[in-house]
Amino acid sequence: MSYSSSSSETPRSSSAGAPGGWVPPTPEELQEMLPQYEITALLGRGGMGAVYRGVQVTLDRPVAIKILPPGLDEADATYSERFRNEALAMAKLNHPGIVGVYDFGSTSNGMLYIVMQFVDGTDVAQMMAQQGRLPAAHAMAITAHVCDALKYAHERGIVHRDIKPANIMVGYDGVVKVADFGLAKMDKGGQSTGMTQSGLAMGTMHYIAPEALTLGVLVDHRADIYAIGVMLYQMLTGVLPQGMFELPSQQVPWLDPRYDAIISRALRNDRDLRYQTVVELRCDLDAILTQPVARADAKGSQGAALSTQARPQRPEGQPYHPPQWQTPPPPGRELNLGFWLPVVGVAAALVGFVVWSEKSKSSVSPKVEAAAAVAPAAGEAVTAATAPAGSDAPVPKPVFTNSLGMQFIPVPGTQVLMCIHETRNQDYRAYAAAVKGVNPTPAYSDKSPVDQAGDHPVRNVKYKDAAGFCEWLSQKEGRTYRLPTDEEWSLALASVPAERRVAGDTPEKLSNRPIKDFPWGSSQWPPPAGFGNYGDTAYKEAFPNYPFIEGYTDGFPTTAPVMSFPPNRLGLYDMSGNVSEWVQDWWNAQQKERTFRGGGYGSREARDLMPSTRGRLLPDVGYGNANHGFRCVVEGEVK
C-alpha cells in the first residue's frame, strides 16, 4: 500500500477479508484515539490496513499513519506480528532513500498503528499508470536509487521481499524512497525471522522470486534483486516480463541493449546466477553512463533527487512550490549539479538509457561569462524583462555545439541551455535516418512552396515526434535533451515584461492574460521591418486567399533559413515567427492537448504575436499544421 499525497488506493466502506467487513475509522474518530496527532485525511486502504495523513503536533511535521484492523489475530496469529515487524525493520533503517518510522503502538481499542514519514508525491505504479512506460532515463534513476536504499538494508541483514512499483515513492521534489518493509525478513545469525501466512510465499506475485515459491527454501536478499529486475523491465516497456518475454530493446526503439543483459541476469531463476548484490547491479547500470547516477547514502540528510523533468507533477489544487532555479555561477566556477541534476550522462541529468558509442566531437565548457552579460545581479529576480529590447548589452555567444552542429546557450533563471535556432530539416533527417518509421520530410497538403533545404526549420511535426527527436539525441550523445517547458520558453523570449505566474496557472490561463507589448519591446503594429518571419506581403503572393500583415515585408513566403533575422538579447533566434514551437506543458488540467508557442510564418493577427499567446493541439494528431516546429534544450552543465 502506498501512502503518498496522491495515493492510488481508493477508500472503501468495507474490505473483503477484514474482520466483520471492517470499516476504518474516520479521521475524526482516529483523532480521538491518537490525540498527539492531528489527523487530516484518509489516504486509502488495502489488504494491510488503512493509511491517514496527519501532523505530529509537537514537532509540526506531516506524517502518514498506518493502522491495522482490530481482531485480525483471530484469523491469522502472525498478522499483528508482521505489522510490528514492519515498524521494527524500518526503525532500524536511517537512510534518505527509505521511508522513515517515527512511532509505533496500539490504540485503546486494540488497533496497531505505525507513524511514518509522509511522502508528498506519488509512487512509481501511478507514474506508469499515467505514462505507460517511463522514459529510460527516469527508469534508470529510480532503479539506481532503489539499489542504494536496498544496499543499506541488505548490509543490515534486512530483506524487503515486496519490491514493486507501488512501494517505490517519488516525491514532488524528485527524491525516491522505498516504502513498506512490512514483509521484511531479518536475518540474525543465519536464522530466518521472516513472516509467512499459512505457509504461503510473501510478496506480490509478479515480483516474487522463484525460490520464494519453493517449499523449505529460505529467502535471502537476492529475492529483492529479482524484483528489481521485474520492475526495471516494467518501467522500460510498460508490461510485465511473463513467460518467454521479449527483451526490452526488442520492444522499445533505440533503447540501449545493455539493459537486456542487466535485466536477464537479474531475472535468472537460479539465484546463484543472478547478481549477488545490488551493488553489482548498480555498477552495471552505471556502466551504461559515462558518469553514474548520483548516489544516495546514509551520510546525507536528503536523498539524491530525480531531475526536474523526471519528477511527478503536482496535481491541480495541490499547494504549489516554485522550482528553485539557480542562476549561472560566476566565471571559473562550474555548476554544481550534485543535488539538482543527479542523474547525468556526460553532462546531463537523468540519462540512464544513453548509447554513448557516438559522443559529440565538439565538447566545450560553458562560458558563463557570456551568460553574465544578461544575468541579473545577485539577489535580483531573473525575469524576461531584466534588460529592455534593443539594448546595447552584448549578445551572448553559443557555449556548446553538438554533433549535429546545433548550438546552445544558457537561459538565465533555468538549469538548461537552449538551442539558439529551431530544429532544422538536416537535424530531423538525421533522426529519421536512424529511427525506423520516422518521416524525414513531414508533408503538408497545402502544396505550399516550402523550401526543404537543410538549414530551414522542420515543420509540420507532431508533438510526439518532436519529443522522440529529443530522446534519440539524448541516447546519441549521452546528454539529456528535451523540449522546453512553457516557463523556460517564456524566460528565453526575454524581450517582454515577465509573466506573473500563480499557483494553478496553466498555458490556457496564461494565454488569456494578455501581455500587450510584442516581442520587439513595444505595442507598435505592424512589426518593425526585418524583425521576424511572419505572414507578410511575400506570404500573400504565395497564398492570395489568406490574410496577411499589411505594410510588413520580410521576404519569405514560408519558412526562412534559421537565424535569418536578428537574435534576441539572449542570443536566441526566431523566438517569434518562422515556425511555432512545441513546449512540454499540457494546455490545461484535462491533459488532452499540448502547447505550442511563438507564432510562425503564417501569423498575421496582432494577437498571434503577443508573448502571452499560446496554441494547443492533440499530441498525436495527424500532420496538418504547417507552422509547427520545435527547438531543444539540454539540461545542466556541458563540458
> Taking 60 as the threshold, does the pLDDT of residue 506 lie above it?
yes
Q: Are residues 100 and 196 in the same domain?
A: yes
Contact yes or no for 44/9 (Cβ under 8 A): yes
Q: Could you give phi then psi for residue 242, rounded to 5 degrees?
A: -120, 140
- Which contiguous run of DSSP H or E holds residue 280? helix 278-288
Kindly give, in sequence order, each residue whose CB lies less than 8 Å from that of residue 280, ignoring residues fewer than 6 positions away. none
The Cα-based distances of 251 to 233, 239, 373 in angstroms read 11, 10, 47
Contact yes or no for 147/295 (Cβ under 8 A): no
Q: Are residues 422 and 293 in the same domain?
A: no
Domain assignment present for 395: yes
Stretch 131-150: mean pLDDT: 91
Q: Are residues 267 and 411 in the same domain?
A: no
Q: Are residues 390 and 296 in the same domain?
A: no
Query: Distance from first CA to last CA of the chain, Å, rounded?
Result: 43
Residues spanned by the domain of 596: 384-496+506-639
Domain assignment present for 357: no
Q: Which amino acid is at 196?
A: T
CATH number at residue 438: 3.90.1580.10
Domain assignment present for 43: yes
Residue-level pLDDT at 147: 95
> Taking 50 as the threshold, does the pLDDT of residue 633 lie above it?
yes
Task: State what percent of residues in the chain have pLDDT above 70.
Answer: 71
Stretch 465-484: mean pLDDT: 94
Residue 153 to residue 176: CA distance in whole angstroms? 15
Stretch 519-540: mean pLDDT: 87
Residue 249 to residue 136: CA distance in whole angstroms? 11
Among 306, 328, 344, the domain boundary falls at: 306
Q: Are residues 284 and 394 in the same domain?
A: no
Residue 329 to residue 415: CA distance in whole angstroms? 11
**Average pLDDT over all residues of the chain:** 76
Domain assignment present for 354: no
Strands (E), 107-235: 112-117, 121-123, 158-159, 168-171, 176-178, 185-188, 191-192
User: Model-level pTM greater than 0.85?
Assistant: no
Cell numbers standing for residue 623: 500532420
Among 306, 339, 368, the domain boundary falls at: 306
> Taking 80 as the threshold, does the pLDDT of residue 207 lie above it?
yes
Residue-level pLDDT at 130: 86
**How does pLDDT run across 283-318, given as a tens digit for each residue?**
899 888 744 556 666 655 455 667 655 667 666 544
Domain assignment present for 133: yes
Lowest-pLDDT range of 171-185, 252-266, 507-521, 596-610: 171-185
Residue 392 to residue 369: CA distance in whole angstroms? 17
Residue-level pLDDT at 176: 93
Among 246, 277, 306, the domain boundary falls at: 306
Residue-level pLDDT at 240: 94
**How does pLDDT run across 325-355, given as a tens digit for each residue?**
222 333 333 333 332 223 333 233 333 322 2
Residue-level pLDDT at 402: 94
CATH number at residue 37: 1.10.510.10
The 3-state secondary structure of 405-438 reads CCEEEECCCCCEEEECCCCEHHHHHHHHHHCCCC
Q: Are residues 105 and 203 in the same domain?
A: yes
Domain assignment present for 422: yes
Residue 348 to residue 368: CA distance in whole angstroms? 17
Better-scored residue on pLDDT, 355 or 577: 577
List the beta bridge partners of residue 113: 67, 105
Stretch 541-561: mean pLDDT: 88
**How does pLDDT run across 385-433, given as a tens digit for each residue?**
333 334 445 778 898 999 999 999 999 888 899 999 999 999 999 999 9
The Cα-based distances of 519 to 83, 489, 508 in angstroms read 61, 13, 20
Q: Are residues 390 and 301 in the same domain?
A: no
Q: How many residues does the chain have?
A: 639
Give how many domains the chain has, as a whole number.
Answer: 2
Domain assignment present for 629: yes
Stretch 150-172: mean pLDDT: 91
Residue-level pLDDT at 371: 28
Cell numbers standing for residue 491: 524566460
Residue-level pLDDT at 107: 85
Residue-level pLDDT at 580: 93
> Taking 90 as the threshold, does the pLDDT of residue 501 lie above it?
no
Domain assignment present for 316: no
